[in-house]
Structure 1
Amino acid sequence: MTDRISRRTLLASAAFIVPTFIAPHVPLDPTEPLTRRTTSGPASVPEATAAVAAVRSYGPNGTHWPANTPTLGSQVGKVIDVACDWAAIGKAIASVTDAQISAGVHIRIAPGTLKGFGSSSGSTPALKGFGRGTATKNILVSPKDGWGSVTIGDDVRLTNVKGVTFARINGRSVLLTDCSRTNWAHAKVSVNFRMTASSGIVRQCNAYEVVMADAKVDISDPLGYAAGSNAKITDSVWEGCYCAPVFRPEGASDHIDTLQMYGNGAYRGLTIRDSTLFGALNSALQLGGPKPEDPELGTPFLTLDHSILTAQVVAIQARYPLPAGAYAPKLGQAINGSGESGQLFAKDSYVFGSMYTTQWGTVENSFVAYSKAPANNKAVTGAWVYDPAMATVGAAWFDARTPTPTDAYLRSIWT
């Protein structure tokens, strides 16, 4: 079990009975693809090609990519081939100038297995203090021979790495600490993936198509977004991500949330877009709550954009039968924790389960499997739509919208 900055002492749990589930009409996706701004560099330096659009989906489809990073296969100004070794990767990151990064830098890793030194808050970082994040683009680091050719052999932690995008590197457990403007993209993890702040303010630490594909029996939260004392994490995106459920072992007492926001420090500004999160025992999304000392109180705390969250009972019903040795869930909770009242936003999303009682800011074209949501989860603008017909939703509904991310599927979208 991995260490946590603050383990649940700040979180209020809400016990809801299993709600009636649903099958609402599917909201139409926007006719135009999701677009992003790109940032121009110095006039004297040619710019690397970056992604400008993504195809809307509920989970990975190969098109979600950070706008500040050259796309794989595009022409860049500098290519550096390195051994499958963290020291070689760090040396290559340190060797380039901002002008070179703006023209495009791609560090290509030879096939092999990178070492891991643990992913707890006290583990030795595999990389520490590399990158600056001052160029107009990020450095791209990815396998030379494509997805599946580089893996991380054990849990790994990266600390204070800035302005770097790590792509198509599979791992067991990955912890990004104090990594502003750093992205992890198009990667499969088997245990957990977390981004945290331990010192100062961390901004734009993002996940693009990070996938935990396989359900398992465990006591570890698969996804985390956290801040330690006197630190803050904000302005981060989890886009095109997917997480299978984690089932609690029989006899254990852990809550277990799929994506947990937590810590003694301030955390907010999280956007979950184009993603599917199947619930762990307690919930699919644990919001935690705001900190009185946060100077950004009154700004967006969480945005749920074109995504699906399910309670674990729905995960069992739709795709992942209860495994042997797992505790059978009694609750149908999808969202727990209050977040910041009036600073929660939802658009084109589905929540299959109950929600902690709190006020939302804006809710647009979003459906919930909880009859009390219209009264308990009112929004300043718009409203959650409850549809009792969702009781019929099963595997076919999910299969049509969010493909199971098998290795064959991931290979087809990431190559």
Structure 2
Amino acid sequence: MSRRGFVGLVLLTAPAAVLAACTASPSPAPTTSSPTGGGGTTGAPSAPGPRPEVVRSFGPNGTHWPAHTPWLGDENVAVTEVDCDWEAISEAIAAVTPEQAAAGVHIKIRPGTLPGGGSSSGSAGVLADIGSADWAQNVLVSPLEGRGSVTIDDEARLVGVHGVTFARLDGVVILMTNCTRSAWAHSKMTYGFRMAASYGETTRECGAYEIVMADAKADIVDPFGYASGEGSLITDCVWEGCYGAPVFRPSGADDHVDSLQMYGTGSYRGLTLRDTAVFGSLNCALQLGGVADDDPYKGSSPFATLDHTLLTSQATAIQVRYPTPDGADTPKMAQAINGIGEPQHLYANDSLIFGSMHRSSWAVVSNCKVSSEGALENNAIQDGKWTYDADMADWGAEEFDELAPIPTDEYLASVWT
């Protein structure tokens, strides 16, 4: 587990009084390396028009959007303009009635920069205890003048925000804690995005739609997280159309770095990765963790599902797209998935896995190709099979560019219109 994983786990299980005094351990300043150049691009305000039909992909293409949220270009909703200020945004959300939410509400933020405040489990929420998971539709919050006109300048945490979708709001790191039925969409994050349940609560239906971390880094922090603190449950959440670049461990460090880690002392399950591409960090792309024998939710739902998703080891990431940054370790193994999750409660369909998998037992696997022949022996299936494709080991940049386009700022501006 990385230092972030350890610190986050401790904080998630700490009493509320202790949390107020806790801060995350500092980490070395990351160095970044992008597969291509390109500066920031500000998008135009969304043109009116119908919600696009979903086009299956490995990563963002502008069509993945929460079904319970009005589309950005929907003209048949009530619009409220607010200053670029968290208090103003909070007041606007708090003023929404169930009837208004059902008819559609779009809160548009005037240009500016929103402060962060930290994304550890001890950080105060920039927004807290607002909204409703019972609203017929989510309230939409986005920049008035399009992506890039409003940014978040530091890591930020939301706590207990329900029934709200934030879109086209780029940030550093976002942690959504106890944010049932909320979502974040069509946004680029510098260092990561995380969902968590804490303080003994249950979090359901939290969503990440086309969340992108495009640049590789040398760092000790897992960029994506799915976590639960003691006595809490996080379940039935989705990452759809997302993209994650690898994190390389700095030379001399001994941290265990995953791209997306499931973890915690509480119950975590029900994670779906759909139309998503995750390139492996030092240890793996997806860390499944495991289930305690006394977990009260053991066997209650699918533990994890790969639905048309691409996962790679770090070795593959280096081979096809991301050169090792200066001063970073090179991987000693080529692992795409680590952890056992919950045996016979893992599902996969229409997915590609480049690299090995830790020994695990799957319920149903359909139309999935693997580059590691070891999957046929080490990753048992109750129904279906893995298809071993030896040619996948020879794939290069050209094949990956066609399958999962590099989400440069220019590319994102072209699809997030």
Question: TM-score with structure 1 length normalisation?
Answer: 0.88
- Give the structure 1 partner of residue 308 of structure 2: 306
SS of the equivalent of 1:161 reads strand
Structure 1 position 392, deviation (Å): 1.5
Mapping of 1:193-272 within 5 angstroms? 193-199=193-199, 200-272=201-273
Mapping of 1:311-326 within 5 angstroms? 311-326=313-328
Mapping of 1:57-76 within 5 angstroms? 57-76=57-76
Letter aligned with residue 5 of structure 1:
L
Determine the C-alpha separation between the residues in 2 that align with 1:61 and 1:196.
26
Structure 1 position 53, deviation (Å): 3.6
Structure 1 position 77, deviation (Å): 3.2
SS of the equivalent of 2:289 reads coil
Determine the C-alpha separation between the residues in 1 that align with 2:111 and 2:146.
9
Structure 1 position 51, deviation (Å): 4.7
Deviations 1:62-95 (A, max 9, x none): 0000000000111233110000110000000011
Of residues 335, 338, 363, the one that matches 2:340 is 338
CA 1:247–1:367 in structure 2 vs 1: closer, same or farther (change >3 Å)?
Answer: same
- Give the structure 2 partner of residue 356 of structure 1: 358
Say if 1:76 and 1:105, in contact at 8 Å, map to a contact too: no
Determine the C-alpha separation between the residues in 2 that align with 1:144 and 1:219.
36
Determine the C-alpha separation between the residues in 2 that align with 1:229 and 1:268.
14
| Structure 1 range deviating more: 117-126 or 369-378 | 369-378
Structure 1 position 5, deviation (Å): 2.0
Structure 1 position 294, deviation (Å): 3.5
Letter aligned with residue 90 of structure 1:
S
Letter aligned with residue 209 of structure 1:
E
- Give the structure 2 partner of residue 188 of structure 1: 188
Mapping of 1:5-404 within 5 angstroms? 5-6=9-10, 51=51, 53-199=53-199, 200-298=201-299, 299-404=301-406
Determine the C-alpha separation between the residues in 1 that align with 2:152 and 2:393.
41
Say if 1:277 and 1:308, in contact at 8 Å, map to a contact too: yes
Determine the C-alpha separation between the residues in 1 that align with 2:78 and 2:104.
6
Say if 2:360 and 2:380, in contact at 8 Å, map to a contact too: yes
Say if 2:285 and 2:311, in contact at 8 Å, map to a contact too: yes
Say if 2:371 and 2:391, in contact at 8 Å, map to a contact too: no
- Give the structure 2 partner of residue 409 of structure 1: 411
Once superposed, what is the RMSD of the aligned Cα atoms?
Answer: 1.4
Q: Which of structure 1's runs of 4+ aligned residues deviate more than 4 A? A: 49-52
Determine the C-alpha separation between the residues in 2 that align with 1:123 and 1:51.
35
Determine the C-alpha separation between the residues in 2 that align with 1:293 and 1:146.
48
Which blocks of at least 5 consecutive residues in structure 1 are unaligned? 8-48
Letter aligned with residue 410 of structure 2:
A
Say if 2:244 and 2:278, in contact at 8 Å, map to a contact too: yes
| Identity fraction in percent | 56
SS of the equivalent of 2:8 reads coil
Structure 1 position 257, deviation (Å): 0.2
Structure 1 position 369, deviation (Å): 1.4
Letter aligned with residue 122 of structure 1:
G
Question: TM-score with structure 2 length normalisation?
Answer: 0.88
Deviations 1:244-298 (A, max 9, x none): 1100000000110000000000000000000000000000000001233444322
Determine the C-alpha separation between the residues in 2 that align with 1:364 and 1:77.
40
- Give the structure 2 partner of residue 36 of structure 1: none
SS of the equivalent of 2:360 reads coil
| Structure 1 range deviating more: 104-113 or 52-61 | 52-61
Number of positions where the alignment pairs a residue of Structure 1 with one of Structure 2: 374
Determine the C-alpha separation between the residues in 2 that align with 1:95 and 1:50.
27
SS of the equivalent of 1:176 reads strand
